[in-house]
Chains A and B, each alone.
Chain A
Amino acid sequence: MKKRIISILLSLAMAATLVTGCSGGKNVDTDGSSSDSKEPSAAYGESVWKDVVDYGPADGKTDKDYAFGGVFGAINSYSDPMQGAADEAAEELGIPSTQFDAPKDWVQNDQNTILDGLIAKGLKGIYMMTSDPVAGNEQISKMVGSGVPVVCVGGSPDTPSEATLTLATDVYQASYDGTINLIEAMGGKGGVVGLCGAVTDTNTQSRMKAIEDACAEYPDVNLVQIIGDIDESEASVTAVENILAAKGDQINGFISTCYYPSVALASILSEDKYSEIHAIGCDTDEAVLDGIKSGALDGTMSQNPWGQAYLATVTLKMLTDGWTYKDSEEFLIDSGSFYITSENVDKVEETQKEATMEIAKTWADKFEAPAK
C-alpha cells in the first residue's frame, strides 16, 4: 500500500512538472530581441552569396534562430558529404555549424523520433530526405506547422508537400542516362540487366521505367531482366552471381541504380572471365570508384548530395531571413547527375562543387527578397 501511494505521488509530481513545463507552449526559448552583428568573413567575400544573402543573423535574430540540421532517410553512404557541405555553407554565411543524423533503417517512425528530438533540442530549420516519401509528409506538415522550415534533399516526398522545395536527382533522367551510357559502351547491341533497390519505393519504379525506355530505343538491345529489392550486401551479390550463372551468355551489360549492387558488380566483374561485360554503377562510394579504376565498371552515375546539402542550408538561412520561395518556381529542383568514368574518377567532388556553384549563381532568383 505504502509503495502504491509513493508511486501515485511520484506520478502526480511528474504530471505537475509536465503541465508546468509545457505551459509555455513553445519549443524552446527564442529570446531574439538582440541581433548578433558579425563582420563578414573572407569565405563570405569570396562566395556567390556576397551582396545577395546577408552575412550572419538578420535584424532581430540571433544565432539560435539559425540552428539548422540535416536528417537523412537512413544511414547511407550517399549522405556522407552532406554535413561537410552544410557546414561549408554555414561558414560562408556566418551562421552556426549544422547537425546531422539519420535513423539506422529506412523506417519513418525512427526518423520521426530523431526529427522531433532535434526540434526539441532547438533546431530551427531542417533539410531532410524522408525515410518514406508518402508517410514522411505528415511529419513535414507537423514541423512546418510548428514554424520549422523544411527543405527536402535526396528524393522528393509525395506531393503536395509543405516542404519549401526539394533538391534531388531526377531519378528517371539519371537512370535513363546511365542506361544510354551503358548501351553506348556495349556498342549499341546486346543484353542488358537492370539492378534496382526496394520495389516499394516510388523512385525505384521510375528507375525501372527509365531502363525499359532507354533499352526500347535500341532495336538491337534486349532487356534481359530487371532485378529489384536487392540493395543489401548479401542479396546483391547473390542476385548478380545467379543471373550470370543462369543467363550469362545473354548478358552484355549491367546497369545498377543503387549502392550495394554497384559494389557487387565492382567485385564480381573484376574476374577475367567477365572482362567482356560492361557495367555502369550508381553513386560514388569508394568501392564503386575503385571498381572504375580497376576496369570492372565502365563508369557510375554520380548524384550531387554535396550540392543538395549546401544549397538546402543556404535556403534555410534565406527563409529565416525572410525570403520566400516564389510560387511560380518548381517544387522539385534537379541538383544534377554526372557520368563518372576513368577519366574524371579523381575529380568527383570538384565536379559536384562546380555544378552546385552553377546552380547557386541564379539561386536567389527563385526567391522573393524580404522587404528592407
Chain B
Amino acid sequence: MKKVKQLLQADLSSVILPIIVIFAILAATSEGFLSSYNMYSVFQSVPIFVIVGLAQMVVLSLGQMNLAVGSIGVLSSVVFGIAMQEAGLPASICIILACGAGLLQGFLQGVMVTKSGINPFIISLALLSLYKGLALVITSGQPFSQLSVGFKEFGNMKIANLFPTTIFIAILVSVVMYILIRYRRLGKKLLACGANGVAAVYSGVNYDKTVIAGHCVSGVLCAIAAILQVSRFGSVQLSIGDDWMLTSFVVPVLGGTLLSGGKVNVIGTFLGGFLMVLINNAIVLWGVSSYATNAAVGIILLLAYEVDRMRKKMMTNQAKNAVEREG
C-alpha cells in the first residue's frame, strides 16, 4: 500500500508506468504497432496533444480553466491563413502574426477574468463561442489551402523515417515552458496565485497581472498548436480545435498537474500527451468500436481526476504531518 502511495505521489512514475504497460501490450499483441508507419503516425499526433495540454496547464496552474483553447487555436489559424494566402507574407511573419493573435485573445480573456468579476468559467465559455464565431464570420466557412509549399512540407517531414519534425517543436516548447515554470519569476507567481491567491497578494505578487500573463501564455501555446495542425493538414480548417477541449484537461492532469491550481508538471504533461496518443492508437489497434471511444475517453478523464484527487489529499496530509512534526 505504501508503495502504491509512493507511486501515486511520484507524478512521472504514474504516467510512465501506464505508457510502458500499454506500449508493451501493444507491441506484444498488435503486429503493426511497431511498424515505422504507425510509430511515425503516433509521433505525429503527440505535438498537438502536448502543446494543447501545456496551454491548459498554464491556466490550471492558476486554479482556473480555459475552455476556449480550441477557439483561440482556430482564430489564430485564420489569422495565419489570411496572412499567408491573402497577404502573401512569408511563413515566419505569418507564424508571428498567428502567435500575436493567440496572445491577444489570451490577453482579452485574462483582462475579462480579472476585471469583470464574472466567473472565469463563464468568460472562457463565452469566448469559446465568440472566437469560433469570429473565425466563421471572417472566413464564411471557407478553408485556406493556398499555403506555401515549404510550410506544408514541414508538417509532414520525416527524420530517420520515424520522427516528424513537429515532435521537435513540441520538445522545444516543453523545454521553454519547463524553464518558465521552474526557473522564471512568472512561473513561481503563477503557482503562487494558483495555490493561494490571497497569500500571493500579501506576498507582493500582482495577482491580476499574473493571471493576465498566464492567459497570454496559454493563448500563444494554442496558436502554436494550431500552426502545427495547419502544417500537418496543409490547410487552415475551421474544424481545427474542435476536439481539443477534453484532451487539454486530460493530458496535464494525467501528467501530475492539479486541477485546483498551484502545482504543474511540464514533463508529466509531455508524457501525458504521449499516453493519450498511445491510448487512441490502442483503441484502433484493439478494434474497439468508435461508438465506445467517447466512453473510453470519459473513463480516462474520470481516472485522471481520481488520481488528481488522491494526489491532492496526500499532499495535504504530508503538509499536515510536516507541520505537526515541526510543531
Contact = CB atoms under 8 A, between A and B. Distances in A.
Contacts, number: 154
Given A113-B45, A119-B32, A137-B234, A7 B13 contact: yes
Contact of B294 (A104, A113, A134, A202): A104
Contact of A21 (B34, B161, B284): B34
A300 B147 CA distance: 40
Given A119-B38, A132-B237, A138 B12 contact: no
A29 B34 CA distance: 12
A27 interface: yes
Contact of B141 (A26, A107, A199): A199
Given A75-B290, A137-B234, A107 B243 contact: yes
Contact of A117 (B16, B23, B39, B284): B284
A18 B162 CA distance: 10
B143 interface: yes
Nearest to A138: B234
A328 B50 CA distance: 45
A363 interface: no
A121 B36 contact: no
B233 A134 contact: yes
A122 interface: yes
Interface string A146-168: 10000000000010000000000
A106 B229 CA distance: 16
A141 B34 CA distance: 21
Given A3-B13, A14-B23, A25-B36, A112 B41 contact: yes
A3 to B, nearest CB: 6
Contacts of A101: 284, 289-290
A200 to B, nearest CB: 4
A105 interface: yes
Interface in B175-234: 229, 232-234
A22 B35 contact: yes
Contacts of B283: 117
A200 B132 CA distance: 12
Nearest to B294: A104
B136 to A, nearest CB: 7
A238 interface: no
A105 B290 CA distance: 10
A187 B164 CA distance: 60
Contacts of B281: 113, 116-117, 120
Given A134-B145, A146-B37, A27 B32 contact: yes
A221 interface: no
Contact of A120 (B6, B35, B48): B35
B326 interface: no
A24 B36 contact: yes
Given A158-B145, A200-B136, A105 B242 contact: yes
Contact of B232 (A17, A22, A104, A138): A138
Given A22-B35, A102-B290, A200 B232 contact: no
B75 to A, nearest CB: 14
A110 interface: yes
A27 B284 contact: no
A101 B255 CA distance: 30
Nearest to A123: B32
Interface in A1-60: 3, 7, 10-11, 14, 17-18, 21-22, 24-29
A142 B145 contact: no
Interface in B51-81: none
Nearest to A22: B36
A254 B42 CA distance: 46
Contacts of B293: 103-104, 110
Contact of B30 (A24, A120, A146): A120
Contacts of B233: 108, 132, 134-135, 138
A116 to B, nearest CB: 4
B148 interface: no
B291 A107 contact: no
B32 A120 contact: yes
A313 to B, nearest CB: 20
Contacts of B294: 104
A275 interface: no
Given A24-B36, A134-B235, A141-B156, 6 more contacts: A18-B34, A22-B161, A104-B293, A120-B284, A142-B156, A200-B136
Interface of A: 3, 7, 10-11, 14, 17-18, 21-22, 24-29, 75, 101-110, 112-114, 116-122, 131-132, 134-135, 137-138, 141-142, 146, 158, 198-202, 205
- Nearest first, the 4 closest Cβ-Cβ pairs linking A and B are A117-B284, A21-B34, A120-B32, A120-B38
Interface of B: 6, 10, 12-13, 16, 19-20, 23, 27, 30-39, 41-42, 45, 48, 136, 140-143, 145, 152, 155-156, 161-162, 229, 232-235, 237-239, 242-243, 280-281, 283-285, 289-291, 293-294
